[in-house]
Amino acid sequence: MTEKSSPTDPIHARGSGATIADVAQAAGVSVATVSRALSGNYPVAKATRERIFRSVTDLGYVANAHARALAGATTRTVGIIINDVADPFFAYIARGVERQASAEGRMCLITATHGDKERELALVDLMREQRTDAVILVGGASDDPRYRKQMADRARALAAAGSSLVLCGRPSLGVGVPTKMVTYDNEGGAFAITDYLISQGHRRILYVGGPRDFSTTASRLAGFYRALDARGIERDPSLVHEGAFGRGFGYSRMRELLDQAIDFTAVFGANDLVAAGILEALEERGIRVPQDVSVVGYDDVPVASELRPRLTTVRVPLEELGREAVRLALSQSPHDAGASSDNTLTVGTHIVIRDSVSAPNKT
């Protein structure tokens, strides 16, 4: 045993990591041969190959992914941009992305915007720097035209570089912008659950949560309104209260609304987290759910079934959404043009009925 490396200690090479040249030297061949033996796309004599693999393990060699990427091979990485890693909505989508990516032999670069549009743009650029095979942008988007234009520019740049931008659960950037899309039926789910509420006899339904001017909010509200219209119930602006997603918002806004003694029999939380906050505010005031007030949410995140009463909500196949996003991203379909063709995929939503809704109290 020369130096300080012991035979039982294969990976501990000297210096800052062995290169392919070291392996070549150790095996007594050229670097080209090592490269070929490793990638296996070119014939290498069996004996040579074995000698090379032995040197590889002896030296603890791993290829430098950057050199490899630079030399033309693909990066084998997909990037995903979400709002927040710890928000279950995003976490489940990320899980789907991560799983599908690794099933297709890719790494997964997960980053978070924390709701900052500028940061989102910057992150897309970062992924572009990383030359990821695709970048998946998740969650509702702002409809600020300047922002849309900047994102469209990036979509084009990505496309020009052979990568692709896939929009997951967010609206198109416009015709002609090269993107792929996978969405879920936001409007339909909102329609269905509102209709369910109405069918139970509710007429005055509060809508709480979701950032204003945000695509997700817009489509959920659209479904909400469509259901109202379909049953001939008048839209009452004083009943819709946008603001934010998140438990804290649901809780505090519900408290305020309770103080205002508004007349309602049911509450539609913009997502399950908001609904959780609403439930807490209600519980705090001694208002029983569903006997006094019915509550529904959206997403069917795991916490929905931990709440008491268990929350009636709209199920969104989050993990599936993530998987489809990478399938689409990695498929050869030449992302292109408009919203139709096979560059768009919509997964369905359906309501799941649990215990937070009943007929309104006939007061």
Binding residues vs DNA (CB under 7 A): 16, 19-21, 28-33, 35-36, 38-39, 41-48, 61, 63-64, 67-68, 70-73
- d(C-alpha 354, C-alpha 295), whole Å: 11
Q: What is the DSSP letter of 260?
A: T
x/- site string to a copy of itself, residues 54 to 93, per CB under 8 A?
------x-xxxxxxxxx----x--------xxx-x--xx-
Q: Is 130 in the site for a copy of itself (CB under 8 A)?
A: yes
Tell me the one-letter amino acid at 80: I
38 binds, among a copy of itself, DNA, none (CB under 5 to 8 A by kind): DNA
- Report CA 81 to chain centroid distance, whole Å: 7
Q: Which is nearer to DNA, 46 or 146 (CB)?
A: 46
Task: Please name the helix (run of DSSP H) or strand (run of DSSP E) that holds residue 39, with its range, or none.
Answer: helix 31-39
Nearest distance, CB of residue 351 and a copy of itself, angstroms: 21
Nearest distance, CB of residue 81 and DNA, angstroms: 22
Q: Is 335 in the site for a copy of itself (CB under 8 A)?
A: no
Longest dimension (CA), the chain: 90
Task: Please name the helix (run of DSSP H) or strand (run of DSSP E) that holds residue 149, with its range, or none.
Answer: helix 145-160
Which residue in the set 13, 31, 287, 339 belongs to the binding site for a copy of itself (CB under 8 A)? 13
CA distances, 150 to each of 84, 154, 161, 330, 334 (Å): 22, 6, 17, 24, 22
How much of the chain is in helix, strand and coil states, percent to nearest 5?
A: 45, 15, 40
Q: Is 332 in the site for a copy of itself (CB under 8 A)?
A: no
Looking from the CA of 237 toward its CB, the CA atoms found within 13 Å total 0
Q: Is 144 in the site for a copy of itself (CB under 8 A)?
A: no
Q: Which is nearer to DNA, 54 or 235 (CB)?
A: 54
Q: Which residue has the tokens 């500028």?
A: 118
Q: Is 326 in the site for a copy of itself (CB under 8 A)?
A: no
Binding residue count for a copy of itself, defined by CB under 8 A: 61
Contact 297, 304 (CB under 8 A): yes
Task: Please name the helix (run of DSSP H) or strand (run of DSSP E) that holds residue 344, with its range, or none.
Answer: strand 344-347
Q: Is 117 in the site for a copy of itself (CB under 8 A)?
A: no
Q: Which is nearer to a copy of itself, 75 or 217 (CB)?
A: 75
* Total number of residues shown for the chain: 363
Task: Please name the helix (run of DSSP H) or strand (run of DSSP E) that holds residue 295, with its range, or none.
Answer: strand 294-296
203 binds, among a copy of itself, DNA, none (CB under 5 to 8 A by kind): none
- d(C-alpha 213, C-alpha 241), whole Å: 13
Q: Which is nearer to DNA, 32 or 103 (CB)?
A: 32
- d(C-alpha 4, C-alpha 123), whole Å: 43
Q: Which is nearer to a copy of itself, 1 or 86 (CB)?
A: 86
Stretch that binds a copy of itself, among 24-32, 129-137, 183-191, 355-363 (CB under 8 A): 129-137
Interaction site with a copy of itself (CB under 8 A): 8-17, 60, 62-70, 75, 84-86, 88, 91-92, 94-95, 98-99, 102, 107-112, 114, 125-126, 128-131, 149, 153-154, 156-157, 160-162, 247, 276, 302-303, 306-308, 319
